[in-house]
Structure 1
Amino acid sequence: MKADLRQALREGVVIGDGAMGTFLYQLGFPVGVSYEEYNIEKPDVIADVHRQYYAAGARLIETNTFSANREKLSKFGLENDVRAINQAGVAIARQAVGNDAYVVGAVGSIRAARRLNVTAEQLELAYGEQMEALLEGGVDGLLLETFYDLEEMSIALRIARRLTKLPVIGQFATDGGTITNDGAAYQDAFERLAAEGADVLGFNCHSGPNGILRTLEKLAPVDGVPFSVFPNAGLPSYVDGKYAFGSKPDYFAENAIKFADLGARLLGGCCGTTPDHIAAMSKALQGYVPKSAAVAAHEPSAEARAAAPVVIGPATEAPPAAEAVEPSLIELVKRRHTVIVEWDTPKDLDIGKFMEGAKALKEARVDSITMADNALAITRMSNLPMGFLVKERLGVRPLLHIACRDRNLIGTQSHLMGMHAIGLDHTLVITGDPSRFGDLPGSSSVYDMTSFEMIRLIKQLNEGIAFSGKPLKHKANFIVAAAFNPNVKYLDKAVQRLEKKIEAGADFIMTQPVYDAKLIENVYESTKHLNVPIFIGFMPIVSEGNATFLHNEVPGIQLSDEVRGRMAGLSGAAGREMGVQITKELLDVAMPKFNGIYIMTPMHFYDMSVQLTRYVWDKNGR
């Protein structure tokens, strides 16, 4: 007979299972349906997933009931099937795995980071209905997962404690920060939830191991309440209409030990993870003996302190007059080395740090400041007004990214017409990271068009023709860049895809960051036949942790063993210094072959981009 789950977590580490929804998607099941309904319609499919995780070493199995509440099921007309779906989920899990496994009822957040018109009373009713069904089905405990707000977590926990004395696990979604979406410090939230009856507290979803590790490192353990950790398999990419995750099982194995050393006693996986990830963690933790000493809370890292916003008033100096319009980037890069620097817009309403960094980049004489369009699906200030401010106040050419993800055809044309009206004529077309993995996971990814189609439609505006085919009375003059990821197994196939973007009308190319001198050579040889300029991308690394994150969790980025070795053990100023030095060496290789240089500013350390821009000018004598 297995021990009580609380006792098992006091005595060692319990391995949980991995993703259900994304794993079903990888197996070929369609999106846009209720996977929870499969408990009734396709029970054999769900049972097989449970069996695979159990065989991989998972001894805590979640029921397939994450969204099986009245509010979520009503989208599919299933609001009257809450009890049947939840109880079937328990029965399937019980029958699929051995008696030594704990079956816990999965209960997902209803608000899911959105300020929906769902009252506390509605939450109480929905959670109560679902939890009663799960408990009647015979679960060994409840798992409250992917919560963003302390308020909602507290409501769900209160309902659970009213209904049962069984173990209750509570997990927030984090991007590596220290506070919940409703402003509570995680440390305070954990202490409050422990006092309200939570048995285990931790994190799942929204980020991969790196983000959760950064958050966990800042927390002090709460007496008698172990941590739980269920990371995503890194950040997803969206290629050819399909989601894909990059983090490999061996990376999860490496981080499993780190999590356990920080006090995690329940470890599993969330979006993108598979039985292979769970097997790797299970193997890594075989024979693991928990540390007896409590892990002390960590001070904020040097990177976090340095990245704190610098507030400068809007009237500290008069805005400079706009400079004369320079030739286009296409014309410049044909004549000399040309530097584009990416500088992210704010996540909040304070533009001080952004304008400060933009001014420093202007003084370094960058040719253009490029601004992402809510990169990684994280909400930021619109790049349209920020591009206007950069142009009008500083006289620097903005290059705005525009993602297929956020706007339908109507919104995209409207956005471009607005850009034309204020003289912003350079843009980079990207697909955009999927919304469900950003800071508002309940939002929709639009994808009305592919990046190829968007390029063609923008060039159609240059002919004075709207997306609908109607005349626009004037012609736009957009110069369109396309993205290129050279960090792939088959570079030739990536170049073939790139050629199609050029056929669609792309005027120049901007690559993902490159960290290997040999790859720079290969990119040059593979693209020198193209009739458009290439801006080769660089993003300096700031620390060993940053290198690990980039290599394992960010789609489209691969670091060489040599680069990772040089960053080993480095952080703070020493890490940033080495990151700049590595990038300078890569620039030495790239500049004889590419006139276009694209520098991506890491973690708002704009001084690193300033140093590298000046290095380019020093090298070419400008």
Structure 2
Amino acid sequence: MSFDLREMTGSGVLIGDGAMGTLLAERGVGFGHPYARANVTHPEMVAGIHEEYIRAGAGVIETNTFSANRFKLEVHELEDRVREVNEAGARLARKAADIAGTNGSKALVLGAIGPLGRPLCPVGPVTEAEARAVFLEQAEALLEGGADALVLETFTDLVELRLAHEAVRGLGVPIVAYKTFVEDGETLSEGLPGRAAREISALGVDLSGSNCTVGPQRMVGIIEGMSAEVGPVAAFPNPGLPQLVDGKVRFRRDVDHFALYGRKLAEAGARLVGGCCGTTPEHVKALADALRDFRPGTTPNRGVSVRTVEEEKPQEVLDGPSTDLAEKLRTGFAVAVEVDLPRGNDITRVVEASRRLKERGVDAIDISDGARARLRMHPVAAARIVQEEVGIEVVAHISCRDRNIIGLQADFLGAAALGVKNILAVTGDPTQIGDYPEATGVFDTDSAGLVHILSRMNRGEDLAGNSIGGPAGFLIGSAFNPTAEDLDGEIEKLRRKIGAGAHAFWTQPVFEIGALEVALERLGDLDPCLLLGLMPLRSARQAEFLHHEVPGVDIPKPVREKLATLSPEDAPKYGVEVAQNILAKAQPLVNGAYIMPPASAPDLAGEVIEAISTQRSAVG
């Protein structure tokens, strides 16, 4: 079918269909069963729902393929049936659409493509090339099955939406693209819908719009913002917020309210209006009745702006860190010392140790995030206490293990509000080695993804592009292991973290200067800001354990053998001496030192940094 979608939406309002998944669930296809698989297991039911929407007044229907990409089908071991499921979905919609609707014309079929279901690099593992391939595979199958056009829907991330469009734009069919917005009046008032509409339209899509998440009342504000920037748009709201009833998701069925605001959506600039999750043929019929006599008014020709969100950001949203530690790293040699948190809620000893270390010239205190998966106070809370009581900046380690993407971002917002601006992003140790081995590790992302999120917040926005009120000013740290067995792989990780926005790197402990020199030489064109990790050893037993049983730690044999000959009193002194010697030699090569003393003896760090003053005296 050949048609001009822009022309059709410019002369009137097209009625779209409603939800497919929630109806399939109500009719027995759902829990534990991917909705898209119903295209091959329950074809009569899928076709019947399409026909119900057409009889209700829909002139545009979407295929039952929103979650039918390779990644999402793989969860159900259906990755080898991507083409079959999508072709079947398009054929069923095509067959229903060829039956004349209530207005005597055939309905248009939009091949539905949703987000990948896996995060993109650097937050997740999916590369841009892989993403395009997955989107293209699905789109080609939909067109082979008979779809008239493609709809890229329910995207929260405009970067992912751009990749989807890049993958399918060469297929020669109209493309519709929708962003979904959280129900957040403050965000909407800051102009995000308009900015998103400009960015989507600048891709060259035939129609932009919004779907899902919010109800019809809130959707009116979104559509007003989008239409004001790019002219006619599409609107597919939910009927309202869902609730959990007897373990099942339920939506309200007030079709009159939906129809009332459906007309308001048209008045706000929507020229394709339908429903998303929770809507039914009854909602669509009420909508079609409400819009039967609607005629669009005169709309000024606004054109399509090609400015992107990034281009319009003011200069004060640049991502430079605003901490004293960052300044010290830029202009001098910074020293950070890790102080272990005890169990429980009393960190008096941490505060006292931090005060003594400050007096000895330390610039910052490091507090880990449940290292070795052991239960400890949240590092941001501890950091706030130390900063307030001691007057020294703290580096809060934040791991990906215990919190999902929402929780991690909430932690960062809290850290910024509390003045904890130095963050070390780490992936985190697995729960199996800690206090609660049966606990669930989250790992929505890895350390590079965490760096990316922090960098976005330094630009004044969260991962979804919503404003956080201003740039966070974080110093973004990450880890680097100069003694890694696979040094090339470790350097590639470092390169990826730099690309994601890392400012500085805390290294794993180094016990011989030669290992550091080799790593620096292998870095090639990279010139990262490094804080050299130093661990004053206290015994031969500790050295053997670290070397043989802790990943990423390599202690030279001569050091281990020397420790074995020393008394319990002399071994710690030798450990300090080794760290001092490395620090003295490494000082011209790095930007700072990161000292990890034994939990029971944090003051050993103060003895290690005496090498810095000795080195300065020698130079003087």
- For this structure pair, what is the TM-score category when the shorter chain's length is used for normalisation? 0.3 to 0.5
Give the TM-score of the pair, scaled to structure 1.
0.47
The normalised TM-score by structure 2 is 0.47
**Over alpha carbons, which structure has the higher Rg?**
2
